[in-house]
């Protein structure tokens, strides 16, 4: 796997990459650089890219020897796939590696908000127990869970929801559930006690003001998918107006996220885009990314490349 100059191929980590999770799969002949300099980038033949890192044309220009991009996860909104394709660079993703972890994270946020865990914690931790009204926990059993997006993650969310006693309905314009009620998005928003989003980024917010204000009063909204699906300022307004009863967020337009007033509400839970980074999910995600890089450096192709068809057409 040596490069043309007889040295070790360089693979760079763009964003935090734990060597312990990738070295075994990259192989001993590869030099992994987790904090690359401009010189390292210029030599890089492979890149393992984290979600928050932008790989635009300027970044690609800085890596003229690049042969493969492996994105940890499935979203490529911050990767200029067209520019990579023009240069013959496959953009690999790691589908399914963190589906269970994200689903568990979404259900955990939903259950905590329905049970009013943040309010209960604050009551006790601030010494108000005995002097202030005690929040009344809600019930999962019999509550309606609306799952927007019935792909890998959405299906697991639905299964976990059913196991907890939720009455589950789904909305997906492309995939129909065989054993669950399929609803339009408007119907799902209007009838769900908990609404959880598991769809790719859209050109415009999936939930605009009119749709959000049609939500079942007190609805809990969970977004562990893409920040652009619903505007955070609008969520704050909906909470202030009582349209929503709780919000759980794991994704933000800018990451790390600057402070927002919605964070201070006691019916809001936020996490630093980590629901998909459980121990097992991290191991699987980084393994798949490293395997994709290793495959290309060995003269093969990655198993999952979002631009595979375009690269084939370009090489005909």
Question: Is residue 44 within 8 Å of residue 63, measured between CB atoms?
Answer: yes
Q: Which one from 24, 77, 240, 255 is the annotated catalytic residue? A: 255
Q: How many whole angstroms separate alpha carbon 71 and alpha carbon 307?
A: 13
Those residues whose C-beta lies under 8 Å from the C-beta of residue 174, and which sit 6 or more positions away, are none
Query: What strand order describes the sheet that includes 144-148?
Result: 167-171, 144-148, 194-197, 219-223, 244-249, 268-270
Q: Which one from 43, 226, 265, 310 is the annotated catalytic residue? A: 226
Q: How many whole angstroms separate alpha carbon 40 and alpha carbon 245?
A: 49
Q: Is 86 a catalytic residue?
A: no
Those residues whose C-beta lies under 8 Å from the C-beta of residue 47, and which sit 6 or more positions away, are 11, 12, 13, 14, 55, 63, 66, 68, 69, 70, 293
Q: How many whole angstroms separate alpha carbon 235 and alpha carbon 206?
A: 13
Those residues whose C-beta lies under 8 Å from the C-beta of residue 229, and which sit 6 or more positions away, are 197, 199, 201, 202, 205, 206, 207, 223
Q: Is 226 a catalytic residue?
A: yes
Q: Which one from 71, 152, 183, 273 is the annotated catalytic residue? A: 273
Please give the positions annotated as active site. Answer: 226, 255, 273
């Amino acid at each position: 796997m040596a490069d043309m100059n007889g040295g070790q191929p360089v693979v760079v980590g763009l964003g935090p990459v734990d060597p312990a999770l990738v070295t075994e799969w990259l192989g001993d002949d590869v030099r992994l650089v987790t904090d690359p300099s401009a010189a390292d980038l210029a030599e890089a033949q492979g890149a393992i890219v984290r979600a928050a890192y932008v790989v635009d044309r300027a970044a690609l220009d800085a890596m003229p020897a690049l042969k493969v991009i492996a994105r940890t996860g499935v979203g490529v909104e911050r990767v200029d796939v067209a520019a990579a394709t023009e240069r013959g660079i496959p953009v690999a993703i790691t589908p399914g590696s963190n589906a269970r972890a994200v689903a568990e994270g979404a259900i955990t946020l939903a259950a905590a908000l329905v049970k009013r865990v943040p309010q209960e914690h604050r009551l006790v931790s601030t010494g108000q127990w005995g002097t202030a009204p005690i929040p009344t926990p809600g019930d999962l059993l019999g509550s309606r869970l609306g799952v927007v997006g019935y792909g890998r993650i959405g299906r697991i969310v639905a299964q976990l929801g059913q196991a907890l006693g939720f009455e589950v309905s789904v909305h997906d314009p492309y995939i129909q559930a065989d054993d669950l009620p399929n609803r339009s998005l408007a119907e799902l928003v209007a009838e769900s006690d908990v609404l959880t989003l598991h769809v790719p980024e859209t050109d415009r917010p999936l939930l605009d003001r009119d749709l959000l204000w049609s939500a079942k009063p007190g609805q809990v909204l969970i977004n562990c998918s893409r920040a652009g699906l619903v505007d955070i300022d609008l969520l704050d307004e909906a909470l202030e107006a009582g349209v929503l009863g709780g919000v759980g967020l794991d994704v933000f337009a800018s990451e790390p996220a600057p402070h927002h007033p919605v964070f201070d509400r006691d019916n809001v839970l936020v996490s630093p885009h980590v629901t998909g980074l459980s121990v097992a999910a991290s191991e699987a995600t980084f393994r798949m990314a490293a395997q994709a890089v290793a495959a290309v450096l060995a003269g093969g192709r990655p198993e999952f490349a979002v631009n595979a068809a375009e690269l084939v057409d370009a090489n005909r």
